Amino acid sequence: MPSLRVLVPSVLHVALFMSLVCSLSIAATQIADTADDVRPLQAGEAAPRFSVRTITDEEFVFDPLELERPVILVTFRGGWCPYCNLHLAELRHVVPQIDELDIDVLFLSGDRPDLLVESLDDETRQTIDGLGYTILSDADANAAVALGIAFRAPERYLEMLPERGIDISSSSMDRHGVLPVPAVYAIDKSGQITYAFVEADYKVRLPADELLAVAKELAAR
């Protein structure tokens, strides 16, 4: 009969192995097969904690339990996406008003830090030091997965982009093939999501005036 001294490590090893398997399984299920299959966090749920990178490639940890001000999160696929650039340009005009409401605005891009600023449009690049909001890199899709908006880009889509003159070879997509569904989240100081806009159709974005209205409601809480 095996001694307890032998059995205990065995049981611990099995438990650790099963825990690892479960963790991997959960992570895998958080990346949807298509944009229509994502299961995003909704209003009323707690915002997740995640780690992304700054444009200078420093770690930025978003911790919903340590917020100094309410936050609006805006996700976009990258500077290679014309719809994302147009949306960013539109939202830029209401950011000063949102900042006056004591709300932080964070933009999360799928581009790598070293290419994030370069991939932005000329106007944004030229005003990077006075944007009034923070642009962050979610190249590893940590935030997208945590928010439940990550999905695997279809192969046909990845093959089509170069044909349209869009070069994504230097972005993060060619490493893991994961994209975020465009989304906007409003999060109060307690870390609770108060508003969620998630649209599988990447051509449909939240208008700037509606974002400002969301911000005003968030500030009034």
Helix axes 208-219, 82-92, angle to 10 degrees: 50
The CATH classification number of 31-219 equals 3.40.30.10
pLDDT surpassing 70 at residue 8: no
pLDDT, position 1: 43
Q: Which helix (H) or strand (E) holds 217?
A: helix 208-219
pLDDT digits (tens, 9 = 90+) for 20-72: 333 333 344 489 999 999 999 999 999 999 999 998 889 999 999 999 999 99
Spatial separation of the C-alpha atoms in residues 157 and 172, rounded to whole Å = 15
Nearest to 193 by CA among 79, 7, 44: 44
More confident position, 175 or 212:
212
Helix (H, G, I), strand (E, B) or coil at 68: coil
Residue extents of the structural domains in the chain = 31-219
pTM listed for this prediction? 0.80
Q: Which of 74, 15, 57 is nearest to 196 (CA)?
A: 74
For the record, the structure tokens of 212 come out as: 């400002």
Q: For the segment 174-198, what is each residue's pLDDT rounded down to a tens digit? A: 456 788 999 999 999 999 999 999 9
Whether the per-residue pLDDT at 113 is higher than 90: the answer is no
